[in-house]
Amino acid sequence: MKAAGPCVVLGFGPGLVAEGAVLGHRKRSNMKRMAVDSSALVSVGYDRKSKTLEIEFPSGHVYQYFDVPAAEHRALINADSLGQYFNAEIKDCYSCVQIR
């Protein structure tokens, strides 16, 4: 079962960094992402150890989604439409933070 949760925006300013710190999520990422052929997503990365999915969007924003099974990452990468798959199976289905 997927654990839906709101995204937290990490950044500078009152409350924003503190929220991220309380949740224990990192503010920066060294995760390698691969470019994808999609108009909705620019690049996708995955860390098996932490089950973290990282997605870069055309806006330049980068989000990390937590507790994402490896099978979900594979299904996203192999989907006919990454944007449709993301909207149906990832967005609003996993807790996340905006890191950029």
pLDDT per position as a tens digit, 81-95: 999 999 999 999 999
CA distance 5 to 95: 4
For range 71-87, the mean pLDDT: 97
- Domain locations in the chain? 7-95
Q: Are the beta carbons of 66 and 98 closer than 8 angstroms?
A: no
pTM of the model: 0.77
Residue 16 has pLDDT above 80, yes or no: no
Cα torsion 85, 86, 91, 95: sign: positive
pLDDT of 21 higher than 50: no
Segment of 18-27, 29-38, 49-58 carrying the highest mean pLDDT: 49-58
Q: Are strands 52-56 and 34-35 parallel, antiparallel or unpaired?
A: unpaired
